[in-house]
Amino acid sequence: MKIEVSLYASLASRLPEGCKGNTCTLIVAEGTTIGALLDHLAIAADEPKIVFLNGIHARPDDPLKEGDRVGVFPPIAGG
Amino acid sequence: MAPDIPRYSRHELLRWIGPEGQQRIRRSRVFVAGVGALGCLVSTLLARAGIAFLRIADFDYPEIHNLHRQILYDEEDVGAGLSKPEVAAKRLRAANSEVQIEAVTTAVGADTIEALTDGVDLVVDALDNIRSRYYVNDAILARGIPYVFGGAVEAAGNVMTIIPGKTPCLRCLWPDTEVVGNHPTAARVGVLSSVAMAVAAVEVTEALKILVGREQDTIQGLLVMDFWRNTFQTAAVQQDPKCICRTITR
């Protein structure tokens, strides 16, 4: 199934080769979870990040479905 | 002798502000939370824009490693015994004596947030950690005060404008308390001075939109900027159905 992944700021370089900009359409297996997707993108479980699924905060065990939009950000909190 | 060109003419000439918008700015009361890199520029530009009242709060004192990006402090302020808000207030009054400045030397926390957000129309965030921002977020939701969040670290920045009851809040963005104690800080990974200034400039722009009554023109979502990799994107953020902002908004 197809999903759309956007990686922001310092995480953008983790998108697979061939992707343009910070957003890419990926094909993943049915039943893939957010956590499995992050593993695939080499974003470690203990790496500080915020993950959104269709604009709402997501958990590692949230399952993905066709057409989902995933966004991953580094937490930028300095002042 | 009256000046030939009015003080705020360059703002009044803007089609989005005009004389009416400037009058609204002149009546505005703003709290800037934190007077570090972001807070120095935010408070400078808001004071120079001619708001009525500016409250600034921070518990810290100027240090030499602040000076590359915290533009209200000079070498003479390091070790001089005045807090950041005290020094900042002195410089801001010199910039615009028409603005009432209230300098508060305190941390933004559970026991201070009520007083710090009392009697203001807007809060602009210049804090350096997520935990303190939760206090601001919860207070503005309860009081119905708009809040401009901003953050900068390394060469990246983000800005989100929060209108209670209308937009997602900071807890929709950061509900995960694990991240609270585990985010990169300037003390650990550094921060580019120009990035902090750029984030602060965006925050001021958002603040002025709100103050002149043009909430509809504010950023919709989270603006994420990476100034070294030259990327500027706005990410969609929805109100989280499980977030406290669904229940505590006034």
| The token pair that represents B103 in the structure block | 């300098």
What is the amino acid identity at position B176? D
Chain A residues within 8 A of B240 when measuring between CB atoms: 56-57
Q: What is the pTM of this model?
A: 0.95
Q: Which of residues 3-62 of A touch B (CB under 8 A)?
A: 6, 8-10, 12, 21-22, 48-50, 52, 54-57
Residues of chain A in contact with residue B34, where contact means CB-CB under 8 angstroms, are 79
Nearest CA distance, A61 vs chain B (angstrom): 14
Find the helix or strand (DSSP H, E) in which B26 lies.
helix B18-26
pLDDT over 90 percentage in chain B: 88
Name residue B122's beta-bridge partners: B30
Strands (E), A1-79: 2-7, 23-27, 50-53, 56-57, 69-73
Whether the Cβ atoms of residue B22 and residue B14 lie closer than 8 Å to each other: no
The three-class DSSP label of residue B131 is helix
What is the ipTM metric for this complex? 0.89
- Residue B110 CA to residue B104 CA, distance in Å, equals 15
pLDDT at B105 over 90: yes
pLDDT tens across B116-136, in order? Answer: 999 999 999 999 999 999 999
User: Which of B151, B231, B236 lies at the smallest CB-CB distance from A79?
Assistant: B151
* pLDDT digit string, tens, across residues B72-93: 999 999 999 999 999 999 999 9
- Residue A21's closest chain B neighbor by CA? B231
Tokens of B205: 């722009």
Looking at CATH, the fold of the domain delimited by B18-247 is given as Rossmann fold (3.40.50)
Q: Can you tell me the distance from the alpha carbon of B51 to that of B63, in angstroms, rounded to the nearest whole number?
A: 29
B26-51 pLDDT per residue, tens: 999 999 999 999 999 999 999 999 99
Selecting from A50, A52, A79 the residue whose C-beta is nearest the C-beta of B34 gives A79
pLDDT at B1: 60
Residue range B219-250, pLDDT digits in tens: 999 999 999 989 999 999 999 999 999 887 65
Q: How far is B241 from chain A (nearest CA, A)?
A: 9
Interface test with B, best of A13, A14, A34, A56 (most B CBs within 10 A): A56
Provide the phi-psi class of B212: left if phi over 0, else alpha when psi is between -120 and 50, else beta.
alpha
pLDDT band at A21 (very low <50, low <70, confident <90, very high): confident
Q: Read off the pLDDT of residues B51-60 as tens digits, 9 standing for 90 and up.
A: 999 999 999 9
The verdict on a CB contact (< 8 Å) between B151 and A77 is yes
At residue B53, the 3 state secondary structure works out as: strand
DSSP class of residue B217 equals: G
Look at A22 and B233 and tell me if their CB atoms are within 8 Å. Answer: yes
Task: Report the alpha-carbon distance of residue B109 to residue B95 in Å, rounded.
Answer: 29
Domains of chain A: 2-73 (3.10.20.30)
What does the domain layout of chain B look like in residue ranges? 18-247
